[in-house]
Amino acid sequence: MGIGTGRLVEEIVRQSSLDVIAIDRDAEKVARLRQRLHGAGLYGTRASAHVGDPASYPLAPYMASLVVSENWQDLEKGSGVFFHVGGSGSGVVGGGTADTDKDFRPRRQGKSLVEAIFHPLRPYGGTACLAIPAPERDRLIKEVTESGLPGATVRTAGDWVLVSRAGPLPGSADWSHAEADSANTGASEEQFLRAPLELLWFDTPPRWFRTPGSTLVRVGGGRMFIKAEKVQAIDVYTGRRLWQAELPFHHSLNDQIVALDDALYVAGRNMCLMLDPASGRPLARFNLPADLAGPWLNLRVCGTHLIGQSGKELVCMDRHTGRVEWRYECGRPSLSVACGGGRVVCAEIAGPATRAIAGPAKTHALDLQTGKRLWQIPSGSEVRLSLAADRVVLQSGIYRAEDGAMVAEFPKPPKPTAKRPNEARPAPLFVIGTKVLVGTAESYVEYDLRTGKALGEPMKWTRRGCTTPRASSNFVTTRVRGNAACIDLASRQIITFWNVRAACSNNLFPADGVLNMPSLTGGCTCNYLPVSQAYVPASAIP
């Protein structure tokens, strides 16, 4: 923000790996900097310069890891923004205007400088470094402290004042597991993302060779992790490639991945790698016990516990050391696993491969710390866990997580008819707080998990494609008439994204305050654009 001599821009480009965007009101100064950067072979690849008011330039939100200026006082002069602190005795630095009565309240001309520099800062630590003269330093610190800007922190380091956007966006949540979280809910607790939506960024990524539906995507800590033959990390807020890592095992449909703030777990065959999510650097490697052939399945991380399945067995390890804490053998190899509230709930799934096994499928609830069985019921299917309502949800109904007692039974599905021999059977699609949405790939009905009663009328749409739905606190993501789309849960409005492929496995991930839409078109012959996109609430765009 403000070029000054241009030396700061040049040295940041030379001495770091950052891409630099420079903005200044002086067109001649911008032109001179462009020429110098072009002569050094840096313009357009690592740096660009633009004419405009740095403090009101329409930058995208959340894009900057670092905001600097050679001279913040020049930035304030004539920009129409200012440092502002309400209350008697406060002052204005730079080009703002103010009333001078006893109760001093400067008239706001657009945003304050604090708001202007905070807007483009990236969540999870984006920082503005301000060299502010001592008389104004305390005023700036007070303004940031009293601003109410979510996540805003301020500290000093020598002559610098550092203003940061710490942590995630307010109300945002990760997509850490295959079904959103360790509770296997199928819905992230993402609340920041809400309609209406605006495009944040788009990109044309390489069309990876892959089997449709086999690519794994997780979102956490401001990063999107995509696993096919390799693992690639992408910045959620800009689409930048952060790193790429090779794996010591071949890509398989059975591969597993879990993304946390401090670790990325990638499992294949009989091994599980722990990677640094910031760099992709290997941190540890854990193998299944020698008597289990693998592969790892149903990978879950809950607290300090790493839980996975091999064959009929569940194995629980310390997620930092790989030490085996307990093992539990189920009755069938087809399992669904959900963790949370101090429990591991493991449901057996009856299918063609398990017809020779006598007896009904069962659901087991285990103590997370010891693996001791707490209760067992004769019912099995995909299992979802509601921590907010303390409920276990199976296709047969809703159960108390405490003891497995049934709370409510779901309505029996209609019998097949000659006209509709293959009509899909309604099933619990996802758990959202104290509600569960029960339906098919083209419909749902909301149920209250505490009472088992249906809430409102069914929601129906025409999918026309093979994408399965997923959800967040405010949206269901799916296809509508062949197009990628989301359904606003509050208004039931359908929002479509034209000509962008929704992918066989659904590539719409509501997480980290963003509707992440990575391109998963490799191996696909459908007539859709191979493009990645990201959307944010319209209120975030200036």
Residue 19, in any domain of the structure: no
Residue 17, in any domain of the structure: no
Residue 39, in any domain of the structure: no
User: Which of 120, 143, 165 lies at the terminal end of a domain, its last residue?
Assistant: 165
If asked whether residues 79 and 209 sit together in one domain, one would say no
If asked whether residues 117 and 241 sit together in one domain, one would say no
If asked whether residues 217 and 290 sit together in one domain, one would say yes
The number of folded domains in the chain is 2
If asked whether residues 302 and 345 sit together in one domain, one would say yes
In this structure, which amino acid lies at residue 107? R
Find the helix packing angle between 27-39 and 7-15, rounded to 10°.
30
User: In the prediction, which pLDDT does 108 show?
Assistant: 37
The whole domain housing 148 covers 53-165
CA angle centred on 102, ends 100 and 108, rounded to 5°:
50
Residue 384 near residue 184, CB atoms below 8 Å: yes
CA distances from 386 to 98, 374, 428, 434 (A): 53, 17, 12, 7
């001649």: which residue's tokens? 28
46 Cβ contact list (under 8 Å, min separation 6): 13, 19, 20
CATH number at residue 403: 2.130.10.10
If asked whether residues 216 and 332 sit together in one domain, one would say yes
User: Which of 115, 142, 165 lies at the terminal end of a domain, its last residue?
Assistant: 165
User: In the prediction, which pLDDT does 104 show?
Assistant: 27
If asked whether residues 309 and 224 sit together in one domain, one would say yes
Residue 264, both tokens: 């990325």
Residue 61, in any domain of the structure: yes
If asked whether residues 152 and 298 sit together in one domain, one would say no
Residue 493, in any domain of the structure: yes
If asked whether residues 152 and 229 sit together in one domain, one would say no
If asked whether residues 295 and 435 sit together in one domain, one would say yes
If asked whether residues 201 and 267 sit together in one domain, one would say yes
Residue 166 near residue 493, CB atoms below 8 Å: no
393 Cβ contact list (under 8 Å, min separation 6): 383, 384, 385, 386, 399, 428, 431, 436, 449
pTM of the model: 0.90
User: Which of 165, 181, 211 lies at the terminal end of a domain, its last residue?
Assistant: 165
User: In the prediction, which pLDDT does 72 show?
Assistant: 80
Q: Please list the pLDDT of the chain residue by residue as tens digits (542 residues).
A: 999 999 999 999 999 999 999 999 999 999 999 999 999 999 999 999 999 999 889 999 999 999 999 888 776 665 544 444 333 222 222 222 233 333 323 333 456 888 999 999 999 999 999 988 877 888 889 999 999 999 999 999 988 899 999 999 999 999 999 999 999 999 999 999 999 999 999 987 666 555 666 789 999 999 999 998 899 999 999 999 999 999 999 888 889 999 999 999 999 999 999 999 999 999 999 999 999 988 999 999 999 999 999 999 999 999 999 999 999 999 999 999 999 999 999 999 986 655 556 678 999 999 999 999 999 999 999 999 999 999 999 999 999 999 999 999 998 776 766 666 556 778 999 999 999 999 999 999 999 999 999 999 999 999 988 888 999 999 999 999 988 999 999 999 999 998 777 777 789 999 999 999 998 866 666 777 778 999 999 999 87
User: In the prediction, which pLDDT does 356 show?
Assistant: 57
If asked whether residues 74 and 215 sit together in one domain, one would say no
Residue 35, in any domain of the structure: no
Residue 183, in any domain of the structure: no
